[in-house]
Structure 1
């Protein structure tokens, strides 16, 4: 019913106006008080005209109330019983309070009070205290209910907007995360492919065996890049990963494979793990792996020959990962302004960690990632 009311409000309002008209006509058939005019065609016509305005109450709340009160005042002035059309007036006041600002609701209450008091005086009401009480209490109570309904509607709309905004932010965050994953995959594997392809081209005529080995590494690395990009495409399609995909997803367990791939590209790399190796939260696991991958890719691209060292230190409350090379320092623009390091810093901040990168006092360049366990759980 609510869905139908939202889609066809004019139909619902027409039905409600018809119900009010039936109530008014039923009241009109009762014996009016002494001195009141009995129902006749004019009274019925005024009642129908007043109730017809209620069909448009949702679209023009205050004008409908004014029109209704004018018709009701004419009905009272003609000598008919004022109670007959009072229900429609209360409905019109409720509509103003439910759809318009408070100042318009107050004006609506004052207008209804004036007509109500006028009707009581025309009807020969001798109990003025009762008349004033009815004129003040009923419109105010109806206005209060309408105002509460308006505030509830506004609160519902605000909550819906906030939920939509959160959903949009979640989608944006997911896109950024996937973009980072894509950058990490493409940058790393293409760097390895570029080095191996260059080596194959350089020794193609002089050392066919070395060239063949390098081209084999190119094929293997390309296949790995395709596999990781396939996982990203599956993620974008919201399709569940297979068991094989889950077991081969990026993480610290795949560091030996990553280091071996970098060694195959011609860069000596030493991997050291200290502390008690234990399971870490999934986000921390992937973040640490991607940081090592990005850092080694930068070493491969910017130095290409200096040995590198990767240290994974499992501490009591956090995980510290260091990647250091002993070659020439990476140019400042590459070290501080590149998309890779910026992405690593943002990824680390997402899990409550921090990333530091810069020249090492003993030479070379070092990247240090610190990720707390508790902040990521």
Structure 2
């Protein structure tokens, strides 16, 4: 949004998508509880593998019987699963290496592949896909060499080459494990994206609400304090020479401050009780006579003209129109030496057109403005799909023209 430096507002201030998915590892946004070692599941897997391998030793009597070294390999392949959350790559390769040595030693087939499946599954879901595939590939190629070439020199004696159908089964098992792990990984990433999207949407709604409240407070306080400032100056100047006029100025200050406090309280109530209906209706163009009367107390005569067939305005458009007129008149009081201003309200098919103009000239000196008046008006109009044009007309002075569509566009969702 660009602004030109003018007496009616200073230059705009610069104001600053979903977060990247993190891997499911320790210190990188992993699932709750992954910092603790998975003792229970690892013990359960170890017991299953040991019992299943003993059963397999009775079924496959032609293989080397289980001994201490075999049980050490089984315990090592399962024990390394304790670090599968913190170091998934280590778990994948270590369990595969233990299984490969176990098979090369001629021990019977059985649930020895379960530890490999769990280790590679953890690596894939943690985001280490290539490493998991490499670990499985290492095991499969090693088994291929043992079963079809090295079996001549490895136990058991008199062993023959394994049937190729068995190799197809081992390959299918490996692919199935990795495929399931990939599905889980993709699903977890989808969940993470959905959570990130919901968090981003919640933050965006909070930012929009803060911006709305900031605009409301700016418009309320800027207008009321401008009136108070002008009347305080009048009261001080006439306190000795014209006490009655000074009393009138003080009465105006009291009325303006009371109204400002009421509107500020209404805005702040939305912070204390979010979602509740406001206790008093939001201001609209029906309160335009109040703005004219307040402007008159500062010595500014406001002429209001209405064209077109007057229709009921949507609440958002009505509030935005009131605030735009309020801010424009506040700028006239602050920054212009003009004593008259014109407000034109035009009801067109599908749009409300506002025109606020004064003849100038610009008042010198610092009026104490924040420079955000025109920015706030443009933001209000843009939120409704409308436009704001502000600048000096050819005849001099300053003019603000706002066009607000009566059908507000639906907000885009990401």
TM-score range normalised by the length of the shorter chain: 0.7 to 0.9
Greater helix share, structure number: 1
How big is the alpha-carbon RMSD for the aligned residues of Structure 1 and Structure 2? 2.7
In structure 2, the CA distance between the partners of 1:101 and 1:147, relative to structure 1 (3 Å rule), is same
Following the alignment from structure 2 to structure 1, what is the Cα–Cα distance between the partners of residues 387 and 342? Answer: 20
Give the aligned partner of residue 43 of structure 2.
Answer: 18
Equivalenced residue count is 369
How far has the Cα of 1:304 moved from its partner?
Answer: 4.8
Give the aligned partner of residue 179 of structure 2.
Answer: 144
Query: Normalising by the residue count of structure 1, what TM-score does the alignment of the two structures yield?
Result: 0.88
Give the aligned partner of residue 170 of structure 1.
Answer: 205
Give the aligned partner of residue 314 of structure 1.
Answer: 347
In the alignment, structure 1 residue 246 sits paired with structure 2 residue 280: yes
Following the alignment from structure 1 to structure 2, what is the Cα–Cα distance between the partners of residues 84 and 228? Answer: 73
Write out aligned runs for 1:273-352 (5 A).
273-328=306-361, 338-352=371-385
Write out aligned runs for 1:116-131 (5 A).
116-117=143-144, 120=147, 124=159, 126=161, 128-131=163-166
Following the alignment from structure 2 to structure 1, what is the Cα–Cα distance between the partners of residues 277 and 316? Answer: 19
Following the alignment from structure 1 to structure 2, what is the Cα–Cα distance between the partners of residues 180 and 73? Answer: 69
How far has the Cα of 1:241 moved from its partner?
Answer: 6.0
Following the alignment from structure 1 to structure 2, what is the Cα–Cα distance between the partners of residues 11 and 212? Answer: 75
Q: Is the 8 A contact 1:355 1:368 kept in 2?
A: yes
Give the aligned partner of residue 257 of structure 1.
Answer: 290
Give the aligned partner of residue 212 of structure 1.
Answer: 247
Give the aligned partner of residue 153 of structure 1.
Answer: 188
Following the alignment from structure 1 to structure 2, what is the Cα–Cα distance between the partners of residues 359 and 46? Answer: 87
Following the alignment from structure 1 to structure 2, what is the Cα–Cα distance between the partners of residues 269 and 23? Answer: 89
How far has the Cα of 1:33 moved from its partner?
Answer: 1.6
Give the aligned partner of residue 236 of structure 2.
Answer: 201
| Gaps in structure 2 of 5+ consecutive residues | 1-29
Deviations 1:140-191 (A, max 9, x none): 1211221222222223223322332232232222222222222111111111
Tell me the SS of whatever aligns to 2:80. helix
Following the alignment from structure 1 to structure 2, what is the Cα–Cα distance between the partners of residues 24 and 303? Answer: 88
Tell me the SS of whatever aligns to 1:225. helix
Deviations 1:322-368 (A, max 9, x none): 1112332578x99xx93211221122112111111122344432211
Write out aligned runs for 1:221-236 (5 A).
221-236=256-271
In the alignment, structure 1 residue 91 sits paired with structure 2 residue 99: no
Deviations 1:190-240 (A, max 9, x none): 111111111112222222221111110011101111111112222233456
In structure 2, the CA distance between the partners of 1:157 and 1:54, relative to structure 1 (3 Å rule), is same
Write out aligned runs for 1:62-141 (5 A).
62-117=89-144, 120=147, 124=159, 126=161, 128-141=163-176
Following the alignment from structure 1 to structure 2, what is the Cα–Cα distance between the partners of residues 292 and 113? Answer: 77
Deviations 1:64-113 (A, max 9, x none): 12222232233334432132412211222222222234322321221121
Query: Normalising by the residue count of structure 2, what TM-score does the alignment of the two structures yield?
Result: 0.81
In structure 2, the CA distance between the partners of 1:33 and 1:233, relative to structure 1 (3 Å rule), is same
Aligned with residue 32 of structure 1, among 59, 70, 73: 59
Following the alignment from structure 1 to structure 2, what is the Cα–Cα distance between the partners of residues 339 and 354? Answer: 16
In structure 2, the CA distance between the partners of 1:159 and 1:125, relative to structure 1 (3 Å rule), is farther
